[in-house]
Amino acid sequence: MSASEQVRFGRKRVLPSCPNPLFLQWLTELRDEARDRGLKTQFTYQKAINSLNKYPLPLQNAKEAKILQNFGDGICKILDDKLQRYYRENGPNAKIHSLPEGAPPAVQADNHSLVPSKKKNGVCVGGESGEGKTRRRKKDYVPQKRSGCYAVLLSLYRESQLADGKGYMLKYELQTEAQHLCDKSLTVPEPGSKYTAWSSVSTLIQKNLVLKTHNPARYSLTEEGLALAERLDSAERLTDNRPDGDGEDSPGVVDLTCSDEEEQEENQRTHPTERPECVTQMRTEPDGRNLPNSQYSNLKPNGGRLPPGSYYIVLCVDVIETTGASHHRKQELVKELQRNGVNFDVRKLNVGDFLWVAREKVAPVPGQLRAPAGRELVLDYIIERKRMDDLCGSIIDGRFREQKFRLKRCGLRQPIYLIESGVAAAHLSIPEATLQQAIVNTQVVDGFFVKRVQDVRESAAYLTVMTRHLTKLYQNCTLTCCSRGLDGDAPREEQQTGRPFCSLMSFAEFNQGAVKNKCQTVREVFARQLMQVSGLSGDKAAAILNHYSTPYRLITAYECCTREEEKEKLLSSIRYGKLRRNLGPALSRTIYQLYCSPGALS
């Protein structure tokens, strides 16, 4: 028999695309109905459809489908209800592994192709038919209007269009500029959430719209981001120039700021009424009442004044003081402050545990969901709180000296140590006498004001009294924002009139300048090196830096000395602190050995 005679010719049977076409049809109908109504459950149904298409065996009921991925109790119950109704209409022996006669054939559905499930006026809805099969093109990403991404893109674009623009923006600059373009705060999380509108910037970076470089971070637009931001800016300007009375659907105005997934949310929320530029400026509440403070921005350097009555005092509590270890004890502080009626905010502080800001009172703008952001200036009082066990641990790992150094260099003139001495020090690894000596040295040698309390309730009471005292102290003062160097070298003003200092820095400048792991100059690293020497405080390190600002200059000075004795006493006559005492020969000899000994120190 020849090879040609062995070939069997016949008609190939078409295998069903899915052994469970009835379940597939019901899921597709549910998916299409949810999509028509704009519900996000359409994506859940689509995932179930994809799982069912991959399953090769027939199912007798929906409970058996629970072994499949993306099939939960809700979907299985819906399918079982439909199955029972199907049996009542077609009899208990009705076939469920094939579609009823006259029903459209089920085809496999994925994210782009839909199963034809119903017809309207003879046209298939939610599916593809024959030759007209086309894939839906995915739209380009466009952020929602007045969202965090929207505000960041617009702010970076407008900065890039400036003739004297740097081509990038730092984080606190970008947050300040973008805040008025965003409905949510870029710095403070919403109640019950740990995320802010700034968290969405990671989406822009992942989509290659924003470029993040350097440390501290610099943000700039990529080519794709520049093109998108230009479209958003054009749409924004068209909206701003729209005549009064035009509706949202005015011809010629295209809204570029609503993506497919956000259409339903955008339709359900009320659009803020567009307002002229003059109305968006911050205004002072005439009756002086405290307005909502869920979001705030910060004053630019040299950016204006706050006259008396146009601001109120707010206590800022570091977020570490309310979360983390000993959560119940930390929440007790918050409850005490609330019980005492203290107006406070919980936010991230890069130095200190408590401080006070003067926040501008602003009135809500008609048609806008939130009140405009109030400007903030930091008062000259900052508190570092220490329990005895915290003090012991910070002394052991070296944080205690570093914290004192950073508090002195943060730019605020009245640093305070709040010591909770109610915890017994008998079980700690450092003797109680040593801890008490460290507290005394903090007050006498380092010049900090030290306040001793017994427990958390007394700490809350002290914070309450301080808040009321500062409110009265600053009630008749006109506050001016001035940019001040945060390295502690700025000259201090003489307080001759008995009135508080009224030239204050903005909160953004203060918090950005107090970042612990920011890029450091050689002078700052040199100061940290010196402070690792036993007995060398921040005042002593600052005095040495005034004479020799870098290790190179100090070593050069040593090389200019002719005798060994002269090198050892080079720093002994340097004066430090308020009493202008000499550094001393012992400390001078130690520093000389540290920087000039060729081998390891014994």
The 3 state secondary structure assigned to 192-261 is CCCCCHHHHHHHHHHCCCEEEECCCCEEEECHHHHHHHHHHHHHHHHHHCCCCCCCCCCCCCCCCCCCCC
CA–CA dist 86, 95 (Å, integer): 10
Q: Looking only at Cα atoms, what is the longest distance across the chain?
A: 121
How many CA atoms are closer than 13 Å to the CA of 447, on its beta-carbon side? 13
Q: Compute CA 560 distance to the chain's CA centroid, rounded to the nearest angstrom.
A: 52
* Sign of torsion over alpha carbons 115, 118, 122, 123: negative
Active-site residue, 376 included:
no
Phi, psi for 439 (deg, rounded to 5): -65, -45
Asked, as a colleague might, if the bond just before 58 is cis with ω within 30 of 0, I would say no
Residues 576 and 584 sit within 8 Å (Cβ to Cβ): no
Residues 556 and 515 sit within 8 Å (Cβ to Cβ): no
How do strand 118-120 and strand 123-125 relate by DSSP bridges? antiparallel
Token code pair at residue 302:
């040299």
How do strand 210-213 and strand 311-318 relate by DSSP bridges? unpaired
**Burial of residue 78, with CB atoms counted within 10 A of its CB: 0-12 exposed, 13-18 middle, 19 or more buried:** middle
Number of H helices, E strands in the chain: 20, 16
Phi, psi for 380 (deg, rounded to 5): -85, 30
Active-site residue, 353 included:
yes
CA–CA dist 141, 200 (Å, integer): 13
Token code pair at residue 536:
């060398």
Query: Of the listed 80, 321, 332, 455, which one is catalytic?
Result: 321
Active-site residue, 509 included:
no
Token code pair at residue 163:
């003739």
Please, what is the end-to-end C-alpha distance for the chain in angstroms? 100
Residues 98 and 4 sit within 8 Å (Cβ to Cβ): no
CA–CA dist 461, 466 (Å, integer): 9
Token code pair at residue 38:
């704009």
Residues 27 and 50 sit within 8 Å (Cβ to Cβ): no
- Is residue 184 helix, strand or coil? coil
Angle at 276 between CA 274 and CA 280, to 5 degrees: 90
CA–CA dist 282, 360 (Å, integer): 9
Angle at 49 between CA 60 and CA 37, to 5 degrees: 120
Query: Of the listed 318, 376, 384, 420, which one is catalytic?
Result: 318
* AA identity, residue 277: E
Query: Of the listed 353, 360, 446, 509, which one is catalytic?
Result: 353
Nearest one of 487, 595, 501 to 550, comparing CA atoms: 595
Positions annotated as catalytic residues are: 318, 321, 353
